[in-house]
């Protein structure tokens, strides 16, 4: 009979482990992944999703099973196996008190160890490795168990809801996915080798693009090469040749009277055909983009445009700059300049660990790199704008400030524009005690 009782305890422990694994698997399953598995027709996924959407009933079912198994295992181990072990020790001539203490202690210790390993730790580790897959496997059985124990489950579920209401806790599950969670999942995917570091960088760039206004990726007016079509063809041709650009903002008489975009190839084709080009007729219309529009929304406007070129205006109708498909691509994959700016990286890490940062670089990558929170509401998009916001004025070369343990120092100015910034860890100056 002792072997039968041992087998009963092992079976009960295994059932307890199955329930614990089911509980953790369904509770840890991500709803978006379960919905995807339902669309793919994975067996058991629909029931797993139903259990995950209504965890109160499922958890009540599991707790009923675990509680009953615990009571049954305790009865078997205490009333039978403990007594048998005590009699076995008594056969060695030990007193009744010592025999019972050793017998019950040995059985309780063995059952506890078996329950922890087989009934808890190993099943839960299996569940955590693949929660959605395990949830699909156990969902049919758990659904049947929930139906069998429906009356008791209803009572427990209602009782649990009542207690939650008294504690002021919400009964709905918050499944909102934040940007931080997405970045964390992407980092895990990179660590596991699922995606390459360059892919992670591009994904982060696309996510930033949706949160940035077009002002953060545009070429400001001060850097835009503009052509007055009222100039002589020789003067215009010389300017095109000197800059090497392929597209130019065209205006007539005064810079604020912008007509559109003049492409160098159109002028060249007209000259090759030995025609005297009418520059005004060669000017093509470009979409007008408000400076408050998200950079990601500009993509469709550029795709629909013949010149893939947007003119940025503020709310007062003032021309602020331009945006091209190259600027959008650069915001995703990183800085590379072909026309309007010489090739230079946004951030360069020096041998001493300090960072040499371009003033035109977007502020988000730098602040994320040094673990400084990015303000949700701000009037700047670049590192230079960050410096101006913190200092409240145009700084001189060599001026600096400290934030989050880092020193931000202005290294170079280009006229009234901050061109280069040095970011290094701030080392507080300590005075030596006078001896």
**Domains of the chain in sequence order:** 2-167 (no CATH), 179-211 (no CATH), 214-333 (3.10.580.10), 347-425 (3.30.465.10)
Both tokens assigned to 140: 């049919």
Buried b (16+ CB within 10 A) or exposed e, 295-317: bbebeebbeebebbbbbbbeeee
Taking only the tens place, the pLDDT of each residue in 280-294 is: 888 888 888 888 888
Q: How far apart are CA 265 and CA 248, in angstroms?
A: 11
Q: How far apart are CA 418 and CA 334, in angstroms?
A: 20
Residue pointed to by tokens 């590379």: 336
User: Is the confidence at residue 226, as pLDDT, over 60?
Assistant: yes
CB 229 within 8 A of CB 250: yes
In the sheet that 406-414 helps form, which strands lie side by side, from edge to edge? 347-349, 355-358, 417-425, 406-414, 400-403
Both tokens assigned to 312: 């940025």
Nearest CA to 309 out of 296, 294, 293, 322 is that of 322
Residue 422's pLDDT is 92
Both tokens assigned to 318: 């003032």
State whether the Cα torsion 374-378-379-384 is positive or negative: negative
Q: CA 263, 267, 270 angle in degrees (round to 5)?
A: 140
Q: How far apart are CA 358 and CA 189, in angstroms?
A: 30
Which residues neighbour 329 within 8 Å (Cβ) at sequence distance 6 or greater?
Answer: none
User: Is the confidence at residue 323, as pLDDT, over 80?
Assistant: yes
User: Is the confidence at residue 435, as pLDDT, over 50?
Assistant: no
Residue pointed to by tokens 């090469």: 225
Highest averaged pLDDT of the listed ranges 83-87, 268-272, 373-377, 393-397:
393-397
Mean of the pLDDT values across residues 21-35?
Answer: 84
State whether the Cα torsion 97-99-103-106 is positive or negative: positive
User: Is the confidence at residue 147, as pLDDT, over 70?
Assistant: yes
CB 343 within 8 A of CB 337: yes
Residue pointed to by tokens 């360069």: 348
Q: How far apart are CA 426 and CA 110, in angstroms?
A: 57
Residue 410's pLDDT is 92
Residue 433's pLDDT is 41
Average model confidence (pLDDT) across the chain: 80
Taking only the tens place, the pLDDT of each residue in 29-43 is: 888 888 888 888 888
Q: How far apart are CA 386 and CA 261, in angstroms?
A: 32
What secondary structure does DSSP assign to 117-160, as a single string? IIIIIHHHHHHHHSHHHHHHHHHHHHHHHHHHTHHHHHHHHHHH
Both tokens assigned to 404: 């989050």
CB 319 within 8 A of CB 312: yes
Q: How far apart are CA 3 and CA 6, in angstroms?
A: 5
Mode of pairing for the β-strands spanning 219-220 and 417-425: unpaired
Q: Which of 1-10, 109-118, 315-324 has the lowest mean pLDDT?
A: 1-10
User: Is the confidence at residue 172, as pLDDT, over 70?
Assistant: no
Q: How far apart are CA 399 and CA 383, in angstroms?
A: 15
Other Cβ atoms within 10 Å of 54 Cβ, number: 13
């Amino acid at each position: 009979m002792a072997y039968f009782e041992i087998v009963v305890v092992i079976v009960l422990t295994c059932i307890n482990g199955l329930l614990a694994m089911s509980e953790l698997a369904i509770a840890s399953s991500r709803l978006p992944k379960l919905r995807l598995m339902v669309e793919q027709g994975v067996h058991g996924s629909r029931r797993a999703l139903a259990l995950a959407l209504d965890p109160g009933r499922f958890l009540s079912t599991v707790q009923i099973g675990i509680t009953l198994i615990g009571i049954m295992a305790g009865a078997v181990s205490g009333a039978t196996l403990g007594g048998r072990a005590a009699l076995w020790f008594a056969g060695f001539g030990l007193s009744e008190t010592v025999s019972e203490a050793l017998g019950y202690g040995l059985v309780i210790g063995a059952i506890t160890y078996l329950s922890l390993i087989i009934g808890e730790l190993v099943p839960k580790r299996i569940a955590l490795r693949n929660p959605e897959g395990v949830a699909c496997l156990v969902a049919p059985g758990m659904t049947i168990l929930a139906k069998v124990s429906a009356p008791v489950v209803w009572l427990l579920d209602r009782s649990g809801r009542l207690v939650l209401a008294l504690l002021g806790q919400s009964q709905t599950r918050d499944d909102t996915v934040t940007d931080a969670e997405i970045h964390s999942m992407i980092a895990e995917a990179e660590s596991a080798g699922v995606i390459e570091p360059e892919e992670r960088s591009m994904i982060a760039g696309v996510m930033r693009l949706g949160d940035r206004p077009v002002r953060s990726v545009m070429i400001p007016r001060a850097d835009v090469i503009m052509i007055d079509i009222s100039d002589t063809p020789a003067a215009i041709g010389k300017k095109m040749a000197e800059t090497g650009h392929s597209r130019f903002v065209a205006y007539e008489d005064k810079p604020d009277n912008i007509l559109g975009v003049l492409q160098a190839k159109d002028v060249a084709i007209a000259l090759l055909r030995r025609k005297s080009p009418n520059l005004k007729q060669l000017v093509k219309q470009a979409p007008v983009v408000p400076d408050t529009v998200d950079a990601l929304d500009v993509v469709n406007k550029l795709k629909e445009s013949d010149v893939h070129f947007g003119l940025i205006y503020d709310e007062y109708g003032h021309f602020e700059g331009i945006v091209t498909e190259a600027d959008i691509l650069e915001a995703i994959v990183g800085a590379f300049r072909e026309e309007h700016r010489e090739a230079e990286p946004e951030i360069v890490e020096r041998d001493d660990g300090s960072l040499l940062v371009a003033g035109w670089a977007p502020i988000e990558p730098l602040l994320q790199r040094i673990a400084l929170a990015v303000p949700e509401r701000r009037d700047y998009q670049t590192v230079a704008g960050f410096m101006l916001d913190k200092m409240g004025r145009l700084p001189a070369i060599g001026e600096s400030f400290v934030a989050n343990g880092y020193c931000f120092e202005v290294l170079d100015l280009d006229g009234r524009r901050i061109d280069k910034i040095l970011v290094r860890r701030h080392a507080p100056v300590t005075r030596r005690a006078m001896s």
